[in-house]
Structure formats: C-alpha cells, structure tokens
Amino acid sequence: MPNFPALTLGDTVLGLDIHFQIPIPPAPPVPVPVPYPFTGPILLWLTPSFPIINTFINSKPAVAVGAVAYSAHVPPIVVGPPANPPNGGYWKRYLTNIAMGVVLMAMTTMANLAIAAITAFIPKPKFAEEFVKNVTGIDTTDRKTFLETAKGSFDSYTKWQTWAKLLMPPIPFPGANGSPSIGSPGVTVNGGPLGFVGPLFANSCSDIPIVPNAANLAFSNVMVGITWAGLLQAMAAGVAQAAMSHGLGKLADKGKNALAGKFKSGCPK
C-alpha cells in the first residue's frame, strides 16, 4: 500500500493550464491554445466546513479535496486577449458565473442521481460499486443505503459555505486558481477526503479541464495510505467527474446562449 504526505494550509498546487486566446492583429482572429504555468499556495476552502478549522497536521490546518490555491499566471508570451471575452465586463461575467454555477449544481445532482439509480439495478462487482460511489457520491450497495446517500447529495444546498464559495467573484485573468482533486476515501476532514501529495492529484483553471493537469507539492511526516487499486479508482473517478462537469457546463452554456437569443429583442420570440 503506497503512502503519500498529507496536505496542509500553504502547500502548493503546481500545474500547466491551457487557455484559448485571440492572437494580436494582423494574425487571424482564431482562438489558439496557449500554455500557462501555474503555481500557488492552498489558502481557502480548506474543508467543506471552512472557515471552521478543527483538524491540524504538524500544527497546520489539514486540507481536503476541493480546497483552493490562488496565484497568477506567468505568460510565456503575450498572445492577445482571452477568447470570447464576456460582453458587459467583469461584473456581468460574475453574475453569469453565479447563474451557471446554480444550474450546474442542479444538473450535476440530477445526473448523479440518474447514474446511480440506473446502476443500482444492474448486477456489478464490488469495485464497480465503489467506482459509482466515488463518481456520484451515492452508495448503490442496497436500496436503503441508496436512499440515504441520495438524500445526502442535497446536503450541500443547505450549507452556507456552498453559497459563499459560489458567490465569490472570479479572479480576473491573469489571476488563476487550483485545487486538490484526489483524496483518501478512508480519511476525511469535516466530510471531505483528506488531500495528499502526488502528480496529477490536482486541477488548475485550464480551458481543457478533463484530464488532471496539476500536482500537489508539500513536505510532511504524516502519511496517508491508500491502495493502488483505490488510487487508480480515485483518479478515474476524478476524470469522470471532470468530464461530466465539463459536459454539463457546455450544455448549460448552450441553454444560456439560446435564452439570450430569444430575449435579445426585449421580448420572447
């Protein structure tokens, strides 16, 4: 069983983001992918109960999956403005992100329930049950457990931390953020899996978010154990979650654009 150093406040997320930008004229105005290195310390949303801090490792607050590291990109070359800049400026982007976040939360919850409900009636080995649980957060072992964990999937809607995090204004480019995405399934901190050090165990704000693109860096003498099977399963679940979130985000974005088109003239068409 491999062991990994546990994450704490101030540890680093290191990644390589891809952002699409419009080249500076006279180049054609076609978005091009540009690599941007990212490195930043984990500072906020350390656990689902943040700012409550009640678990310490080496006298520093422990960090769960979903904590946020903040920093700024260091552009290797000035290419041009970000592709598809929001019309109306920063604050319109902020309000759009809130609406998109609420829709995406609801769609993700419904998608998780649908996936779990369908797989609950399909005979499957134990590892498949664990994979479904890691992706959706819903245990399909039996009907009672399914109903209890399905009910728990709505708990985040009742927590003020969820809404505070959603209402935080986005960081203007070239500001950036990252987050640990892989944690221990058996060790949790205030309901969140304890994060640990390793390659591809984190994400940062890339326009291509499906594949984990970042690493957690830290030095700690407190080790987190996880089986190789559990680690591979957690990584696969992380990719599946990112793919589902990205797909739902695209779907919600299309719906927003369609609605904006209908009301463009001031009244429904």
Q: Give 254-259 contacts, CB < 8 A, sequence gap 24+.
A: 255/103, 256/96, 256/99, 256/100, 256/103
Write out the residue range of the structural domain in which residue 216 sits.
1-82+173-223
Among residues 33, 49, 34, 37, the alpha carbon closest in space to that of 13 is found at: 37
264 pLDDT above the threshold of 80: no
Question: Is there a single domain that holds both residue 267 and residue 196?
Answer: no
Q: Are 203 and 212 in contact (CB under 8 A)?
A: yes
HSE-up of residue 162 (Cα within 13 Å, Cβ side)? 11
**pLDDT class of 169 with cuts at 50, 70, 90:** confident
Question: Is there a single domain that holds both residue 146 and residue 236?
Answer: yes
Q: What is the DSSP string of 180-224?
A: E--EEEEEEETTEEEEB-EEEEEEE--S--SS--EEEE---S-EE
Question: Is there a single domain that holds both residue 67 and residue 16?
Answer: yes
What pTM was estimated for this model as a whole?
0.67
Over residues 96-112, mean pLDDT: 70
Residue at which a domain ends, from 223, 241, 256:
223
Q: How far apart, in whole angstroms, are the C-alpha atoms of residue 75 and residue 253?
A: 27
Question: Is there a single domain that holds both residue 112 and residue 164?
Answer: yes
Residue 33, C-beta contacts closer than 8 angstroms, at least 6 positions apart: 18, 19, 20, 207, 208
Q: What is the pLDDT of residue 113?
A: 73
Q: What is the pLDDT of residue 35?
A: 84
Q: What is the pLDDT of residue 189?
A: 87
Length of the chain in terms of residues written: 269
Question: Is there a single domain that holds both residue 153 and residue 21?
Answer: no
Domain count for the chain: 2
Question: Is there a single domain that holds both residue 93 and residue 216?
Answer: no
Of 45-59, 60-74, 163-177, 235-249, which gets the smallest average pLDDT? 235-249
Question: Is there a single domain that holds both residue 51 and residue 179?
Answer: yes
pLDDT digits (tens, 9 = 90+) for 150-166: 666 677 777 777 787 77
Q: How far apart, in whole angstroms, are the C-alpha atoms of residue 174 and residue 168?
A: 17
| Rg of the chain on CA atoms, in Å | 20
Query: What is the CA 170 to chain-centroid distance, rounded?
Result: 14
Question: Is there a single domain that holds both residue 164 and residue 178?
Answer: no
Question: Is there a single domain that holds both residue 19 and residue 53?
Answer: yes
Question: Is there a single domain that holds both residue 19 and residue 146?
Answer: no
Percent of the chain topping pLDDT 70:
59
Q: Cis bond leading into 5, ω under 30°?
A: no
Question: Is there a single domain that holds both residue 94 and residue 212?
Answer: no
Question: Is there a single domain that holds both residue 218 and residue 235?
Answer: no
Of 41-50, 145-154, 236-245, 259-268, which gets the smallest average pLDDT? 259-268
Q: How far apart, in whole angstroms, are the C-alpha atoms of residue 121 and residue 140?
A: 9
Residue 70, C-beta contacts closer than 8 angstroms, at least 6 positions apart: 40, 41, 43, 44, 171, 175, 176, 177
